[in-house]
A and B are shown apart, each in its own frame.
Chain A
Amino acid sequence: MSVVDGKEPSVKELRIIGFLCNWCSYGGADTAGVSRFSQPTDLRIIRVPCSGRVTPLFVVKALMSGADGVLVSGCHPRDCHYSEGNLYARRRLEVLKRFLPTLGIEPERFEYIWVSASEGERWQTSVTAFTERIHALGPSPAVKVNRYDARLVAGGL
């Protein structure tokens, strides 16, 4: 669904979802914007108060529902606005990252990083690198499940 002229966008995008903590990384992405650091356009950012609010289930849900990549970004360890949220997140997200291959999902489709509000350049580099990585991986295997389920509804199975 394109909005300009009803046609697909000219460059093939993939679907990347970002969960950014309000205090550091969302601010870092803002800083990148204020500095006009150009970035690929695939990423859609969801604002959360803290990386500690990001249940790994959001990430799996996104990846299993068709997102080609998911990026979680929070404050650097020790710098969490809530002092500890990112430290809980780090454990949970690391376990998740190691779990993904068992589901047949490339662990590279998910990444978690720390970007502070002042690190606009780091944000630009991270988004660019992650987007390139996802493009190298191509579309998510969730497409297969989606197709299967679609046929199920259509009565084809």
Chain B
Amino acid sequence: MRIGVFVCHCGTNIAGTVDCAAVAAAAQQFPEVVLAVDTPYACSEPGQRAIIEAIEQKGLNGVVVASCTPRMHEATFRRTVERAGLNRYMFEMANIREHVSWVGRDKKLNTFKATDLVRIAVEKLRYNRPLTAKSFAVNKRVLVIGAGVAGIQAALDCADGGLETIVVERTSTVGGKMAKLDKTFPTVDCSVCVLGPKMVDLAQHRKIKLYAMSEIADLSGYVGNFEVSIRRKATYVDWNKCTGCGLCADKCPSRKAPDHFNELVGRTTAISIPFPQAIPKKASIDASSCLHFLKDRCGVCAKVCPVEAIDFEQQDEVVKESVGAVVVATGFDLLDIRRFGQYGGGRFPDVVTSLQYERMLSASGPTGGHLKCPSDGREPKSVVFISCVGSRDRSMDRAICSGFCCMYTAKQAILTKSHVPDCETHVFYMDIRAPGKGYDEFIRRAQEEYRTNYVRGRVSSVYPKNGRLAVRGADTLLGTQTEVMADLVVLAVGAGAAEGSRDLAEKLRISYDAYGFFMESHPKLKPVETNTAGVFLAGACQGPKDIPASVAMGSAAAGKVMALFSKERLESDPQVAQVNAVRCVGCLKCLRTCPFGAIQEVQARDGSTKAQVIESVCQGCGVCTVTCTDRAIELQHFTDNQLLAEVNYLCRSWMEKSPA
């Protein structure tokens, strides 16, 4: 082979703590290396051009770039060598930035380590073989999971782009958290009035198929060809018949069902439609509150329903859909208020979450938009807002800033004044975080125009006093302790991943962080992609986000799907397993261990059994290779010989150093 080695300085990122020239000089002595140079920025246009020129002038047929992580630029450099006519798999990367210069302090040791990493890249490259991608057809349908504002936006954009779109929503209506908000910041316009038309568009779009009250049961397959199983949960109402007239809910005698749409503020009927603008506007029965299911009597709804839609015998049903890409937009949930006992969470009825407060402010909410204390229905004359409840709190392992609380708290303080003009409003905060168009101005309005009392400091406790609540905390600007009397306390409870996110992540084979939020492929350059090809993220499931950011991300995900689907065929990754039929004894252990069903049994010409890899299904994990004692099945680009070359060099060079 004729190998070229390019050692990148990455400015001072690498060169600051690695002697790149020395690494290149050492690499010049490696077997089959005909050229080794250091370069200021290998990924820059001149850097890439130098690689191409070297390939052409020196007749290189293999290239090693020692620079950043291959997770960053492997694709970049593969394209570079391809432009010079090499097969893109005749390229290896040595990660001397993330794994060397950024983590080691001793320049000498770093240089020694970087040289080793370059050497094992060379050793592996010597066993690399050109690989060629195969192409396969794409199913140009997209699945959107979650129909909050991010999911709705993604679905509408995909459908407007001409794609058949399947939307799966867990609750009985689309709209998500935004549909529960009274007003939005910083414009203070009606939330559901903004969102409503989009919800209607979603329901009426001829390219969109909506499954409400449904969940993902399973997802298999791979980019371009996923198979999804959707569990349609029993609503005990035949939605093909239900007209959403609401007569059933009017007559339902069981009126103490938990009202999830209203965040458990107030009660609803056992059969209900969550809110007037619900999409689809269909009734469903909460079996845990329905007298028919609890006591085997009643059946009033069935009697009054003019279209005979009630079906107490209905069961969950699993339907299958085939799609080529998935947009995950499952949003967030607030932490359980009962975790905040020190603020009276779960202990005092007049301590509520910010989202409960939204419902209390909303004209379509349980109080009809009249602000009332849940304990006795009196109108509050003092409302205290506590920020950063479960956010930026290391004591509960949540260093995360939930991002949107500062803004909605200011909005809620403003709205409080418009509901009850003589009500005092106090906000306990740590810092105000208001980057965004018109955001800081909005905070100012809350403080100046709406005379909200902002107290910088943590609250230590909330306790009952004289029939009201005393909020005691620090005022760090005055350096004193302070106590404020409140009729109502609103906790800006931190955002966590939506309930069930981890289970969903496992089904989708995507990763999540310590808070359960899904991991993007790269924090800066691939914020919408996941590490699973064909699965994209939108909205707060990736981390707390306000509405404009969620909408933007929904559109971004749709854009990614459309870019993916702009090709008639996709290229399969050729880093797949391959069977050497001569070695194969036909035991089919590989077939049984393959997580993807990518191995099939075939008969050889002599009638013997052999394993065969279905290349478009194989994902390249290599479990089969390890299972096969005879190595009759090898994962291309990560063969035993390639990995052994690395191991052998590292051990051999080490033993040569040790005194005999």
On A, residues with C-beta under 8 Å from B are 1-4, 9-11, 13, 15, 17, 22-24, 26-27, 29-30, 32-34, 36-41, 44-50, 52-55, 58, 61-62, 65-67, 75, 78-85, 88, 92, 116-119, 124, 139, 142-143, 146-147, 150-151
Contacts of B108 in A (CB 8 A): 2, 4, 9-10
Contacts of A146 in B (CB 8 A): 655, 658, 660
Pull 23 A–B residue pairs with CB atoms less than 8 Å apart, ordered by A: A2-B112, A3-B19, A22-B71, A24-B511, A29-B98, A32-B98, A33-B103, A36-B103, A41-B100, A44-B113, A45-B95, A50-B621, A52-B623, A53-B638, A58-B647, A62-B647, A66-B654, A66-B655, A78-B502, A78-B506, A81-B621, A84-B595, A85-B623
Contact of A46 with B646 at beta-carbon distance under 8 Å, contacts A117-B519, A143-B655 already known = yes
Contact of A84 with B511 at beta-carbon distance under 8 Å, contacts A33-B69, A61-B644 already known = no
Docked CA distance A118–B497 (Å)? 15
Which B residue's beta carbon lies closest to that of A63? B651
Q: Which secondary structure characterizes the binding site on chain B? A: helix
Indicate whether B532 reaches chain A with its CB closer than 8 angstroms. yes
Question: Is the beta-carbon distance between A32 and B511 smaller than 8 angstroms?
Answer: no
8 Å CB interface, B72-129 against A: 72, 95, 97-100, 102-113, 115-117, 120
**Interface digits, B400-433 against A, CB 8 Å rule (1 contact, 0 not)?**
0000000000000000000000000000000000
8 Å CB interface, B602-634 against A: 619-623, 625-627
Indicate whether B635 reaches chain A with its CB closer than 8 angstroms. yes
Docked CA distance A4–B108 (Å)? 7
Given contacts A39-B104, A139-B658, A150-B660, 14 further A-B contacts (CB under 8 A): A3-B22, A13-B109, A17-B647, A24-B511, A29-B99, A30-B71, A30-B95, A30-B98, A41-B104, A50-B621, A82-B595, A117-B519, A143-B658, A151-B660
Contact of A83 with B509 at beta-carbon distance under 8 Å, contacts A49-B575, A52-B623, A55-B626 already known = yes
Which A residue's beta carbon lies closest to that of B640? A55
Docked CA distance A106–B505 (Å)? 38
Interface centre among A26, A55, A151 (most CB of B within 10 A): A55
Contacts of A44 in B (CB 8 A): 113, 116-117, 120, 650
Contacts of A88 in B (CB 8 A): 593, 623, 626-627
Contacts of B213 in A (CB 8 A): none
On B, residues with C-beta under 8 Å from A are 19, 22-23, 25-26, 69-72, 95, 97-100, 102-113, 115-117, 120, 502, 505-506, 509, 511-514, 519, 531-532, 575, 593, 595-596, 619-623, 625-627, 635, 638, 640, 643-644, 646-648, 650-658, 660
